[in-house]
């Protein structure tokens, strides 16, 4: 999963002091627990077929067109189906991290439906945005000249776009378009409600830093993470999939446990002295076992949870995940300003 995490002060319209936690749900009343909004598929999702089609192949269990992310709880998979392909919670940490790195090695594009859910501890309220995700990884390039063979200054060229089309605050649900686009250098926030584009430079010229690392990116998306980077910045452990939902009421916690049933959970606690992670208390990532387009075992991001210093919880749920489909590259453009909209440009790399 690509972790939509947090740059302090970004996205006031989302209340993002740390943009960390998208999920995905649509069309259900607030009384419905979070996990029921997107039930686990009956079989692992797979990459789109290579045969000609009108769009990426739909994995078994994906929601049919028109249902968006909402799934009737009465169609929950049976325990037998939920167990298919599951590896279990006893997988050693080294194996899980190795499996993640291998899965990321062949990942060039990814699409998914996404729900970003934030629970604010002090204010006692909750905000949910629903939309879709496009992720693109062009590999490494030299930070200085843009070539693909640079070793000394190698920088990963990773990009994403998340477009939300619905906002839920309390019991009120309303259409509201908000898009975040990251192109490796700039983070663009495009607000339909305000008819405004905010373009922020978050990576300085020549900087090989990867702002999409867990705990740093504009939104916590647990996709494309490196084993050595995870171990350098976090104390990592593999824990049972059902753990981590003590913040939720009983019905919601049960629904979330069902949502991650059969997955593997990676728990990350920031190591002391890492200023980039000062605001982060813990990160939890859940992955599903699946196969790619060649039939090779891989892992799919399922859920991400982050908790900050004041106790705010951010959840990112992903469903209908597709590996290496054709994507609409226009969604990744950061140079477009619709007619009649205002443009604000900021450079966050300058002290």
Q: How far is CA 314 from the centre of its chain?
A: 11
How is residue 33 annotated by DSSP?
-
What is the pLDDT at residue 139?
Answer: 75
Q: Which distant-in-sequence residues (6+ apart) come within 8 Å of 49 by Cβ?
A: 57, 293
* Structural contact between residues 298 and 282, judged by C-beta atoms closer than 8 angstroms: no
- How far apart (Å, rounded) are the C-alpha atoms in residues 10 and 18? 7
For the chain, give the number of residues: 351
Residue-wise DSSP of 181-215: EE-SSEEEEEETTTTEEEEEE-S-TT----TTSTT
User: Which residue ranges of the chain lie beneath pLDDT 50?
Assistant: 1-90, 142-153
Q: How far is CA 94 from the centre of its chain?
A: 23
- Tell the residue number behind the tokens 């740390």, with chain if given: 18
- The first and second tokens of residue 284, run together, are 């939890």
What is the pLDDT at residue 172?
Answer: 86
How is residue 73 annotated by DSSP?
G
- Tell the residue number behind the tokens 């609409």, with chain if given: 328
- Quick: pLDDT tens for 20-63: 233 222 222 223 333 334 333 433 343 333 333 333 333 333 44
- How far apart (Å, rounded) are the C-alpha atoms in residues 99 and 292? 13
What is the pLDDT at residue 323?
Answer: 92
How far is the CA of 170 from the CAs of 114, 119, 164, 256, 325, in angstroms? 19, 11, 17, 19, 35
- The first and second tokens of residue 117, run together, are 């859910």
Residue in 124, 131, 126 with CA at minimum distance from that of residue 168: 126
């Amino acid at each position: 999963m690509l972790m939509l995490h947090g740059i302090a002060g970004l996205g006031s319209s989302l209340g993002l002091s740390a943009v960390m936690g998208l999920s995905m749900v649509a069309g259900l009343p607030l009384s419905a627990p979070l996990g029921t909004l997107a039930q686990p598929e009956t079989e692992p999702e797979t990459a789109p077929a290579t045969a000609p089609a009108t769009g990426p192949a739909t994995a078994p269990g994906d929601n049919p067109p028109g249902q968006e992310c909402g799934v009737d709880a009465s169609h929950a998979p049976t325990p037998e189906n939920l167990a298919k392909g599951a590896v279990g919670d006893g997988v050693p940490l080294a194996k899980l991290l190795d499996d993640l790195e291998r899965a990321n090695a062949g990942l060039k594009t990814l699409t998914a439906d996404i729900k970003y859910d934030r629970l604010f501890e002090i204010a006692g309220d909750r905000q949910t945005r629903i939309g879709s995700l496009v992720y693109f990884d062009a590999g490494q390039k030299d930070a200085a000249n843009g070539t693909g063979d640079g070793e000394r200054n190698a920088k990963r060229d990773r990009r994403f776009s998340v477009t939300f089309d619905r906002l839920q605050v309390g019991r009120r649900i309303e259409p509201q378009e908000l898009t975040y686009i990251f192109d490796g250098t700039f983070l663009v926030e495009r607000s339909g409600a305000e008819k405004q584009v905010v373009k922020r430079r978050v990576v300085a010229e020549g900087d090989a830093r990867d702002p999409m690392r867990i705990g740093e990116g504009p939104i916590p998306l647990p996709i494309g993470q490196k084993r050595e980077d995870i171990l350098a910045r976090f104390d990592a452990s593999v824990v049972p999939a059902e753990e981590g939902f003590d913040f939720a009421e009983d019905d919601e916690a049960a629904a979330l446990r069902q949502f991650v049933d059969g997955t593997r959970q990676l728990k990350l606690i920031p190591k002391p002295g890492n200023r980039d992670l000062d605001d982060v208390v813990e990160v939890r990532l859940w992955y599903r076992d699946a196969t790619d387009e060649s039939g090779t075992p891989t892992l799919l991001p399922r859920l991400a949870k982050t908790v900050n210093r004041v106790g705010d919880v951010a959840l990112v749920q992903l469903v209908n995940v597709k590996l290496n489909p054709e994507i609409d590259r226009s969604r990744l453009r950061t140079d477009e300003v619709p007619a009649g909209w205002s443009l604000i440009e900021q450079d966050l790399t300058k002290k």
